[in-house]
Amino acid sequence: MLRILKLPAEVLDVIIEHIYSPLDLLSLASTCKRLRDLVLHDHLDWRSISVLFEDIPYLQSILGTERRTSLVQRLRIQSYEEQGDPITGGFRRIRPMTRKEPTVEELVKGLASLSNTLCSIRTLDLNVDALDFGHFDGFFAALRRTSPFFTNLSISASLVVGEAHEKRLEQTQSVIWIFLPVLYHLIRTLGHFRHQRTNTLLLVFRRLL
């Protein structure tokens, strides 16, 4: 038959948009090259993304075309990067190579343009500081106007400001210092069983400490 590959790209987009399960998308992607490019690099990559709050102007600039903004279905906005597992709930992280501190106007402008262009968004996760929350005035109303399928909204606001933030950093650092001797002993015992050379290395290491 092969007629499906002769369809126009817009029609193929609509078909792929209707396939909800990501695993079904994967099996469609492993059939031929053209479908693979279309599914992986357009749909699966952009369907659910997570972004830092200060990167919103960057997100707005890379979501330039109308087609790409219409592919985004789940969006997560965070105020700080999580430590630990980079993979969280299948969201793809978007971060610029170099980051420069955005001004408030840029942030507000970026949010406004996002809310006017994300036409097929369904889920929005907000994980922002209570201080940043002031920028979201009118954001949800505008989103609801542009995307008729916007149904899920989860907000968790945290208050991590100034000194408190620094204190938290100190705490995490002290935790590392507490665990360092434990790690050292663990490595030493392991090394004892495996290689003698590691033992000598560890001796040097101990002297350094």
Partner 1 sequence: MSITLISKEGAQFLVSKPVADRIGVVRDCAYGADFWLGYAVATDDSMGITLANVTSSILSKILVWCEHYKDMEPLVDGDSNMEFPEWDMAYIGHDMNQILFVLEAADYLHIPGLLLLACKGIADVLDGRNPRGICDLLGIVMDFSHRQEVDMDKENGYWRWFLHPT
Instruction: Please pick, from the candidates 81, 82, 90, 145, the single residue that binds partner 1 as defined by CB under 8 A.
Output: 90
The dihedrals phi and psi of 51, each to the nearest 5 degrees, come to: -145, 150
Closest separation between CB of residue 104 and partner 1, Å? 33
Residues 109-148 that bind partner 1 (CB under 8 A): 120, 122, 148
Query: Which residue is associated with the tokens 């204190």?
Result: 167
The dihedrals phi and psi of 153, each to the nearest 5 degrees, come to: -135, 125
Q: What is the CA radius of gyration of the chain?
A: 23
For partner 1, give the closer residue by CB, 54 or 125.
125
Task: State whether the Cα torsion 78-76-109-60 is positive or negative.
Answer: positive
Query: Residue 77 carries which side chain, given as an amino acid letter?
Result: I
Q: Binding to partner 1 by residue 11, rule CB under 8 A?
A: yes
Gap between the Cα atoms of 45 and 65, Å rounded: 15
Instruction: Please pick, from the candidates 9, 15, 130, 183, the single residue that binds partner 1 as defined by CB under 8 A.
Output: 15
**Binding string to partner 1 for residues 151 to 190, with x set by CB under 8 A, is what?**
x---------------------------------------
Closest separation between CB of residue 163 and partner 1, Å? 35
- The one segment of 32-40, 74-82, 97-105, 135-143 that binds partner 1 by CB under 8 A: 32-40
Instruction: Please pick, from the candidates 5, 153, 186, 203, the single residue that binds partner 1 as defined by CB under 8 A.
Output: 5
CA dist 11 → 16, 37, 112, 121, 195 (Å): 9, 16, 29, 19, 62
Q: Which residues contact 3 (CB under 8 A, 6 or more apart)?
A: none
Query: What is the enclosing helix (H) or strand (E) of 198?
Result: helix 196-208
- The one segment of 9-17, 76-84, 95-103, 108-116 that binds partner 1 by CB under 8 A: 9-17
Q: Which residues bind partner 1 (CB under 8 A)?
A: 1-5, 7-8, 11, 14-24, 26-33, 35-36, 40, 44, 73, 85, 87, 90, 92, 120, 122, 148-149, 151
